Structure 1
């Protein structure tokens, strides 16, 4: 299995695991896409609270087993979309990096300036280079 497809698969699996725990954006955390992970997490939590406030009579008496389908299904869709987005992001990023000309950072995969001893994107030192 190629590294690109393995990374995308792991991102999807981590996203699915996070979704089963009710945590949107877990796949994005694996990909180190922090803003996108936070956006998905806030969207998931916000969707849950909005749906509960609209469709549940007394939110203090709600349990996971007693959630109506009008809350469970849309929340599950948000979790699924988060997982699909993590998979798509990993595949698109890998394709973009494969088409990039010149050297790339072994840590983040972005193009690097050959005159620097570190990656200007992730600030990791590049092996075998003197500043």
Structure 2
């Protein structure tokens, strides 16, 4: 069976976070954090869009969205932009941290297996046995 990829693509997490805050966190399997970013941006948008920007007919079209964006106060636009940037930075840092942990786990795993070699035949010895499964010679207590 193939091993599942433990590292995540940092650039993809950042791109998704730029697309919509929280989407990069979903990619990183941080559901609660993604929900917080979604909710924060949604609440900021809902509270900052004036009623005059919402079309009376309730119709959603490109023109209605453009009119709403023009009616959006500058402070609200800046707040949404800041939240988007913070979400992107958070997704980047999470992806980097996850990849560092995955790399250190692989390195530690390689170190564990490379330390256990038979002093007689030089082949890798199984750490569960106190003898070399290849040549049958006993292994020292210090693990070599």
Coarse TM-score class (shorter-chain normalised)? 0.5 to 0.7
CA-based RMSD of the aligned residues comes to: 2.7
2:98 aligned partner: 93
- TM-score normalised by the chain length of structure 1: 0.60
* Deviation, structure 1 residue 88: 0.8
2:28 is the alignment partner of 1:31:
yes
* Aligned residues between the structures: 93
Find the structure with the greater CA-based Rg.
2
Unmatched runs of 5 consecutive residues or more in structure 1: 19-23, 104-131
* Deviation, structure 1 residue 57: 6.5
Structure 1 runs (4+) deviating above 6 angstroms are: 3-6
d(CA) in 1 for partners of 2:7, 2:14: 10
Change (3 A) 1:32 1:4: closer
Unmatched runs of 5 consecutive residues or more in structure 2: 56-66, 111-144
Deviation larger for 3-12 or 62-71: 3-12
- TM-score normalised by the chain length of structure 2: 0.55
Give the secondary structure class of the aligned counterpart of 1:64.
Answer: helix
Change (3 A) 1:5 1:16: farther
Map 1:103-122 to 2 at 5 A.
Answer: none
